Amino acid sequence: MVDTDCKRKIVSPDLPTNSPKLSSKLHVTIPSPLIKLPVSSPISCSAPSSCSAYELYLRLPELKTLWSSRDFPHWTNEPILKPALQALEITFRLVLTVCSDTRPYINHREWNRRLDSLVTNQIKLISSISEEEEGVSAPVGDGRSSLSLLPQLATWHKSESLGRKILSTIDNEMLLCKYTLGLGEQNIANKPNLQYDAVCKPNELYSLKDNPYADHINNNENETLYILHQIIESWLHVSVNLLRRINTSVDEGKFGEASRDVYLVERIWKLLTEVEDLHLLMDPEDFLKLKKQLHIKTTGKNDAFCFRSRGLVDMMKMSKGLREKVPAVLDVEVDPTGGPRLQEAAMRLYARKRDQCDKIHLLQGMQAVEAAAKRFFFAYKQVVAVMMGSAEMNTECDSVSQIFMEPTYFPSLDAAKTFLGEFWSHVG
């Protein structure tokens, strides 16, 4: 808990000897939340029947089999990179779907811009994950993919410009990696190609291109909705594996590795927000008609549709659970009396730095994850309002509102920065 009795318990961090001392009369007021929220977390899955219907619609059991298969047991990054590459390949299918859409009222120009951004950000994430690989444990070779949709996109007249730009992006973003993706990019550096087809299995992904309602729902937005959520679920699987690795790294004292991974999780939260925003480009009438056709409806006041995703709920709980690792990072036990022990340790860490920068980066990354996660749920609420009207938002989004209005997950870090800010504001 944050101790607001600053006159009695405030601690001056270890600062240069010529720095003025912090006055004992300084009083710092830390504002309390304007809205009192329940102590328990509002994050919980929808009814099991709703979650199961959502998973069957997206064919998640089959997707999970593809994500979780270990074909290269010596490749430590496989559980993280495989679903990331599969999300990218599913995005290529989204590009093909949008470019094939013949409805005259679709905003193809904006779709192309957004898809370019979405693909680019995914390639950047894949590159960042690949850059950290030690040695060349990834399966590489000389061959190129013959199954990916990207080479087709780069030659079809409706998608040629976007496809060629994607190939150029792969070249640019994979510069610092020991290998490239092998999707037809120039590869001027002549690096080995990832065995993309063996890792990603595009043919098996493509066999899942039709959802269970594709044969009897005549609505173009059905395929778009289906693909968008398959992309989301794939990245959720990546993030959960990253969060597990972060917890292991912190337990083993590998704070630099944990710091790198925690910023990847932050970027995935931002990517998920970007994917959710694509719903705003769907035709309003076609989408609302599809909502009726799929029997999508809320069953209770707090039954937000996003909580039908068990993966999203797991990612949010694990992101929030990073706060439990703060004592291990600060190397101090929590004071059972509620004293400011963690806060004081954080102030000393921020002030001293020395060889502890990895810890600072990790703590900053944890708070960045919190901010990105809360932004996701705030943005989700706005998407619901725009797509289905504010009445729907008021019906289903109470629990979503609680998430981004919750107090900070890291009160000790928050208090440490508040006191440090007050300290330096009183230094001549």
DSSP calls for 227-272: HHHHHHHHHHHHHHHHHHHHHHHHHTT-HHHHHHHHHHHHHHHHHH
Q: What is the pLDDT of residues 45-54, one digit of tens each?
A: 888 999 999 9
Question: Is pLDDT at 296 greater than 70 in this prediction?
Answer: yes
Residue 25 phi/psi, 5-degree rounding, is -90, 0
Q: For the ranges 31-40, 188-197, 381-390, which has the lowest average pLDDT?
A: 31-40
Question: Is pLDDT at 2 greater than 90 in this prediction?
Answer: no
- Residue 422 pLDDT: 83
Q: What is the CA radius of gyration of the chain?
A: 24
pLDDT-derived band of residue 248, with 50, 70 and 90 as boundaries? very high
Q: How many CB atoms lie within 10 A of CB 324?
A: 12
Q: Is the dihedral of CA 65, 70, 75, 76 positive or negative?
A: positive
Residue 371 exposure: Cα atoms within 13 Å on the Cβ side: 10
Give mean pLDDT, residues 217-222: 94
Question: Is pLDDT at 395 greater than 70 in this prediction?
Answer: no
- Residue 401 pLDDT: 84
- Residue 18 pLDDT: 43
Locate the DSSP E strands across 347-416: none
Residue type (1 letter), 26: L
- Residue 193 pLDDT: 95
Residue type (1 letter), 225: L
Q: Residues near 405 by Cβ (< 8 Å), separated by ≥ 6?
A: 33, 35, 37
Q: For the ranges 83-92, 222-231, 363-372, 417-426, which has the lowest average pLDDT?
A: 417-426
Is 372 within 8 Å of 269 (Cβ atoms)?
Answer: yes
Question: Is pLDDT at 164 greater than 80 in this prediction?
Answer: yes
Give mean pLDDT, residues 279-285: 97
CA distance 282 to 169: 26
Query: Which structure tokens are listed for 173?
Result: 């973003």
Give mean pLDDT, residues 245-269: 97
The two most distant CA atoms of the chain are separated, in Å, by: 77
Question: Is pLDDT at 428 greater than 70 in this prediction?
Answer: no
Question: Is pLDDT at 106 greater than 70 in this prediction?
Answer: yes
- Burial classification of residue 65, based on how many CB atoms lie within 10 Å of its CB (0-12 exposed, 13-18 middle, 19 or more buried): exposed
Give CA torsion, residues 221, 224, 230, 236, to 10 deg: -100
Q: What is the pLDDT of residues 312-370, one digit of tens each?
A: 999 999 999 999 999 999 999 988 887 888 999 999 999 888 888 999 999 999 999 99
Better-scored residue on pLDDT, 113 or 37: 113
Q: Give the whole-number percent of the chain exceeding pLDDT 90.
A: 71
pLDDT-derived band of residue 402, with 50, 70 and 90 as boundaries? confident
Nearest to 232 by CA among 173, 315, 149: 315
Question: Is pLDDT at 405 greater than 60 in this prediction?
Answer: yes
Q: What is the pLDDT of residues 20-68, one digit of tens each?
A: 344 444 444 444 433 333 334 668 888 899 999 999 999 999 999 999 9
- Residue 33 pLDDT: 39
Q: How many CB atoms lie within 10 A of CB 243?
A: 23
- Residue 14 pLDDT: 52
Q: Is the dihedral of CA 267, 149, 130, 169 positive or negative?
A: negative
Q: For the ranges 13-27, 63-77, 121-135, 413-427, which has the lowest average pLDDT?
A: 13-27
Better-scored residue on pLDDT, 419 or 397: 419
Question: Is pLDDT at 183 greater than 50 in this prediction?
Answer: yes
pLDDT-derived band of residue 423, with 50, 70 and 90 as boundaries? confident
Query: Which structure tokens are listed for 246?
Result: 């972060």
- Residue 340 pLDDT: 87
